[in-house]
Structure 1
Amino acid sequence: MASNTDTLVTVFGGSGFLGRHVVRALAKRDYRIRVGVRRPELAGHLQPLGKVGQIHAVQANLRYPASVRAAMRDSHVAINLVGILSKSGAQTFDAVVAEGAATVAKAAAATGARMVHVSAIGADDKSASAYARAKAAGEKAVLAAVPSATILRPSVVFGSEDQFANRFAALALMSPVLPLIGGGATKLQPVYVGDVATAVADAVDGRTKAGAVYELGGPEVLSMREIIQIILRVIERERVLVPLPFLIARFKAMFLQFAPGALKLTPDQVALLRTDNVVSDSATAAGLTLQGLGISPDSMEAVVPQYLWRFRKAGQFAQNGA
């Protein structure tokens, strides 16, 4: 029986937030890992995640099919993690999220490789959000090229390098008032990045159903208001939460889409918040969830104190109520 060391897995987008956790999970299972990234010279942080020679970064840009085909050469499994939260120049949702997924899938099909594609809960070709429509188009393209592919749809992902909990914590340092878009009623099911990475590795192991779409959520369904309240408790800050109607939020986002860092907000992100982002009843009933894979997900409250302490006045040594 072949061991995992005989299996070459090519991970596109492996140097990003989710990518580094996926690479670590695969390395622990002894796979050989090729990481396709636009700037291989900036992927050195991945090397300590595995044994000497186990992880190798190569140049690949999903907007250039030839580079993707080259990265896939002799690979047994392709993993596509590439995604963007907002468009910038040539990096559009259609080019990266939709066409990019198609490019990886076609390269995988040509190589005879299996494929794992990470999409997102909320992927919908009828959505008001261009991001969600592109995610749906990407899924369709992947299954058209590789019908046996596994699609993983996480809810909003949190972890030490995230652009979610860290963003709201940073905003709390900038302002005594935090807006609640749509009144903060939108429901999310935040999922820990390590749990998503485990699901990806399980899919590479062959533990998922061929051609199935899995929805990955954490143990709790929370409103945006509840999530922000958790973050404020963890960083020991009191802030005024002010409801902001969707119409006004969209108008403000027309200007904030050009803002830097945590202040950035796009009209498309406002559109996404109009719809709840939770695991569906049908996925739960079919066992197409983390729990269905035998993974017990970690909660936000259990994990975020491990990295949000840096936003407290006295850092990791602060005590609640101090």
Structure 2
Amino acid sequence: VKRFVHISVTNPDIDSPFAYFKGKAIMEQTLIGSGLSYAIIRPTLIFGKEDILINNIAWILKRFPVYAVFGDGEYRVQPVYAGDLAKLAVELSKTSENIICDAVGPETYTFRRLVTLIKNRVGSSAKIVNTNPKMAFLISKILNLLVRDVVVTREEIYGLMADTIVSNEKPRCSTSFSNWLEKNADLLGTNYVSELNRHFKKINEDAGYRISG
């Protein structure tokens, strides 16, 4: 192995209270200390045609009269297009310089504004309401039973509210979420996309099990 390209996350922190961000920081430190040539790319909220989060936000907005936003909804997200992220990874794989950079798109939204934008584009009449994070998590557990999935974890809720998926760096990726959404809104929310099925179905099938859904 001559060069290692690692997809990390924005704002990794060895002291983070969130296991995902702490784990990413540990991985980065391990790679930096390995002696290998490396590129560490830190994306924010990734969107694209096979995206889970944006699709499932649209799915909920299309099927329920209310969408619960955690807290005040004023925490920020800076979406990055999956194709732009892939292109950046390929570009950095061809260089020899050790580099750590954020992969972010050109637009920053509050989470409430992001949900509102999706709502308007998919033609939803759902009311967006601010909800206590603990109550929102309890509601999500009920939804888990309906879709046989983990819709959101407690850590994901509080990590999002901590402004962990925004960057202070100049955007390296050019595709705007608003333009992409305008062109692809008809494809969003048609079906619920199960994170468990997406990531663990093959493992369970290899072990002789199958996740229904």
Q: Normalising by the residue count of structure 2, what TM-score does the alignment of the two structures yield?
A: 0.79
Judged with a 3 Å threshold, the aligned counterparts in structure 2 of structure 1 residues 121 and 145 are, in CA distance, closer, same or farther, namely same
The equivalent of 2:57 in structure 1 is: 168
- Does the 8 Å contact 2:116/2:128 carry over to 1? no
Q: Tell me which residue corresponds to 2:111.
A: 224
Match of 1:236 among 114, 120, 123: 123
Distance 1:156 1:299 in 2: 12
Q: Is the 8 A contact 1:237 1:312 kept in 2?
A: no
Give 1:265 deviation, angstroms: 1.4
- C-alpha RMSD of the superposition: 2.4
Structure 2: which amino acid aligns with 1:121?
Answer: T
Does residue 298 of structure 1 match 2:186?
no
Q: Which amino acid aligns with 2:167?
A: V
Change (3 A) 1:259 1:209: farther
Distance in 1, Cα, partners of 2:156 & 2:142: 13
Q: Give percent identity, aligned residues only.
A: 24
**How many angstroms does 1:259 deviate by?**
6.1
Q: Does 1:268 align with 2:145?
A: no
What is the DSSP-based 3-state SS (H/G/I as helix, E as strand, rest coil) of the residue aligned with 2:37?
A: coil
Which amino acid is 2:9 matched to? A
- Tell me the equivalent position of 2:30: 141
Q: Measure the CA separation in 2 of the matches of 1:128 and 1:254.
A: 22
Cα deviation code 1:87-129 (max 9, x no counterpart): xxxxxxxxxxxxxxxxxxxxx3xxxx21110001132222221
Q: Distance in 1 between matches of 2:127 and 2:135?
A: 18
Taking a change above 3 Å as real, the CA distance of residues 257 and 266 of structure 1, as seen in their structure-2 partners, is farther
Q: Which has the higher contact order (CA 8 A, sep 6+)?
A: 2
Task: Give the drift of 1:197.
Answer: 0.9
Structure 1 residue runs of 5 or longer lacking an equivalent are 1-107, 314-322
Deviation beyond 4 Å, 4+ runs, structure 1: 250-259
How far has the Cα of 1:173 moved from its partner? 2.0
- Residue pair 1:120, 1:152 contacting (<8 A) in 2 also: yes
Contact 1:184 1:223 in 2 (8 A): yes
CA contact (8 A) 2:44 2:78 kept: yes
Larger radius of gyration: 1
SS of the aligned residue for 1:225 comes to helix
The amino acid across from 1:301 in the alignment is S
Question: What is the count of residue pairs matched by the alignment?
Answer: 189
Cα displacement (A) at 1:217 = 1.0
Q: After the TM superposition, which of the residue ranges 186-195 and 250-259 deviates more from structure 2?
A: 250-259
The 2-side partners of 1:222 and 1:154 are apart by: 16
2:102 equivalent to 1:215: yes
User: 1:13-28 to 2 correspondence within 5 Å?
Assistant: none
Match of 2:18 in 1: 129
